Structure 1
């Protein structure tokens, strides 16, 4: 055997002892690099190539023993702590929903939306989605980045063709007892963009610029078929991904001018949209949200009710009455389950309960981000960062609305608020997140960024130069 064949035979023998097959590539690379380094060191000391090779193999030891030792250290990391946090949040959400249903049925509301068996079936489905996603190979989304965007386009087209209209604009895709919400499905858009962003690393600066164009296309789809909250969520998550990519040099060096260019274009487009119909009304709406007393039965109605519930909440227990009607008659009960769950919890059970829930979510996000930035692979870090940013954006929008400032419609409070689409997608994303943490340490990025300089966009002497040559 020549040198490479003997080293290859040795590494194969080592890997045969390691039961976790996903670790074979990383282990083989490390073993082979170590053998080559040792061989070169012996050759520098004057040994011939064949002698240096034999000494290197001898120094490494018996491949069966080495492989058995590595088998004990190369195992998937189950992520019991993160999984426990997800399960606690999920269980808290389930308990709140069932308590809510009991309360609603006691006061005489009868509606299929408040069916306890249907809610139980949804929670079982969401738990199953979490488990399945946990065991999925997260690298699949990096290898097939266009599959998810195509699926989203198909769902949007089907919703427009055969979906049921809701609120005069959005169309829901009905699947038996369940329905796909166009607002909630926007949760998955940042994750769909993440795979494309990873694939475009191979194109260097041009790929980075193309990523910005694709992000704009995603925003256009969200604007047309989904919601303003979905656009904010996507801009937050995709923006942090692109900023991180520029900072870490995932697309090569000097991509910051492109980021600046995309940022300026984005700001200009947003300003133009705000001053054009049908978005102009949002500017007027801001005044009534900040001062709801100026329009108590119009745009200021919902902020007034939400702020009133919070002002009359107590630390522990049900808040004091402040309306002549029951709170269930002021706002539709289903809205408390979905859009205003945090306000409802605060008024119904006290500030202590809502603060405890927010602390649990905060701990989950903090631990998640810590693990995210420890990922060795670019894909692992991209996927986990994208999902965690999606959760963060959901929480920020939801908290802002539930404090009495409903600037945009909230999407969901992850793991807690009711909604078939939102809860299912959030649980599936949690499974993929934990799958990344479980196996990400051994994933090897096969897409390498292009490091050559692009002359399309340059930064020179404080000037942004765009060349079309």
Structure 2
């Protein structure tokens, strides 16, 4: 049997068509190596090829065995964890809003029926958002992430233009910030949409492999559009979160040797600039920031000073009330069970999306909150580990980008819930705030897609010179 005949018979057994090319190339390479070995032993080329093919075994049996390996495989364990945490988050939202309703009814003239109606509406909204998010997650999971990566630059341009149009024509300015847009009755959080750039950026950066410092410069340029929009909103926290995530992705690419640059020196220069950035932003806000931005910064710095022992630096006229209330709930919490409920608990519970860990600490104890936080951290550390182990470099960089962003969000949420730093950041599984929840589940869908196709796609997917199926474009 000739090599081509053998490969045709073998690959016919593989049901997933995208895997056939990679498997065929791998088996052909083995046959050619063995053929060369037989020729070296003095066997003529024709017989050497037949003997090499024969040593590969029955093509039908080999193809069936390879079919079991080279096909999409769902990461059911991770899906189960995501589902469990989603349900846990919904239950906590229900309990938190129930507590808030009790507090309102005990100290308000509002009727119990009115409060109960609002409470029921909030719960129904949260359930709908989670179902929508899970549906988007499944849809993205079943899509081949390499197709998303293949058109990453084009999608980034369209996303940039779409967000600009949303901001320009449908944006609403609230307290000096234009972070919301309304398409009819549907509110859309523009800052949350910006996080969709993260996996696309990783894929765009992949396309510049082997192009040296010019490739790195192009990678830096692709950072600018989403960061610029975040600064125009303005949302400095979102801009910083985007920029740091982009820099982590760029650092990974440099350390992987994508740009043939001096790795250690390049990374040192990059992160020296990153570490100096907060100092530069501080002076920028002082020099050119709006009055309310300068005031907020001063209030926060005073709060931090008082938090760490400077009793002379108090919060001005209670303007830092929310952080104070959160901090009081944290320090009054117990190891197990509910602690003393502070006076500011109602204000915190009213914004439960941003303070679910604070609620867990105050009402169920430190151990319960630690278990919840640990489970969320574990999921994304696990996704990060899986991503970094990918043979496919596109999957590696996209998965690492998504995992890094989600981990940073969890860390910022943790700081917010300890009363250390107000971040206005959503946390996966604990915050169900419309746009942010849907975007989070889309990113998780990309991570699940990477897990699903990790045994199928080759180490390097097709570049722009090749079509999706690997054929040279005319």
Inter-partner Cα distance in structure 2 for 1:259 and 1:273: 21
Aligned to 2:90: 94
Does structure 2 retain, via aligned residues, the 8 Å contact 1:187–1:233? no
Inter-partner Cα distance in structure 2 for 1:399 and 1:424: 21
Alpha-carbon distance change, 447 to 14 in structure 1, aligned in 2, over 3 angstroms: closer
The alignment partner of 1:294 has SS state of coil
Aligned to 1:166: 174
Inter-partner Cα distance in structure 2 for 1:111 and 1:75: 48
Deviation for aligned residue 1:421: 1.0
Inter-partner Cα distance in structure 2 for 1:181 and 1:224: 14
Number of equivalenced pairs: 439
Does structure 2 retain, via aligned residues, the 8 Å contact 1:215–1:238? yes
Q: Deviations over 1:35-75 (max 9, x none)?
A: 11011111111222222112111222332222122223333
Alpha-carbon distance change, 171 to 246 in structure 1, aligned in 2, over 3 angstroms: closer
2:417 aligned to which of 388, 402, 409: 402
**Unmatched 5+ stretches in structure 2:** 106-111, 308-312, 465-474
Deviation for aligned residue 1:197: 0.9
Aligned to 1:336: 352
Does structure 2 retain, via aligned residues, the 8 Å contact 1:296–1:304? no
Within the alignment, does 1:297 sit opposite 2:317 as a pair? Answer: yes
Does structure 2 retain, via aligned residues, the 8 Å contact 1:164–1:173? yes
1:386 aligned to which of 394, 401, 421: 401
Deviation for aligned residue 1:113: 9.7
Inter-partner Cα distance in structure 2 for 1:176 and 1:182: 15
Deviation for aligned residue 1:332: 6.9
Structure 1 length-normalised TM: 0.86
Inter-partner Cα distance in structure 1 for 2:82 and 2:26: 35
Inter-partner Cα distance in structure 2 for 1:148 and 1:340: 34
Does structure 1 retain, via aligned residues, the 8 Å contact 2:101–2:119? no
Within the alignment, does 1:312 sit opposite 2:371 as a pair? Answer: no
1:438 aligned to which of 449, 452, 460: 452
2:45 aligned to which of 49, 56, 63: 49
Aligned to 2:470: none
Inter-partner Cα distance in structure 1 for 2:45 and 2:134: 58
Within the alignment, does 1:346 sit opposite 2:354 as a pair? Answer: no
Inter-partner Cα distance in structure 1 for 2:186 and 2:297: 35
Q: Deviations over 1:174-229 (max 9, x none)?
A: 24554211232233232231121112225333112221232244322221135222
Aligned to 1:210: 218
Aligned to 1:464: none
Deviation for aligned residue 1:130: 1.5
Aligned to 2:68: 72
Inter-partner Cα distance in structure 2 for 1:299 and 1:405: 15
The alignment partner of 1:54 has SS state of helix
Structure 2 length-normalised TM: 0.85
Inter-partner Cα distance in structure 1 for 2:410 and 2:155: 24
Inter-partner Cα distance in structure 2 for 1:103 and 1:283: 32
Q: Deviations over 1:304-355 (max 9, x none)?
A: 11111111222333331332xx622x3471x222x22221222233223211
Q: Deviations over 1:232-255 (max 9, x none)?
A: 322332222111111111223435
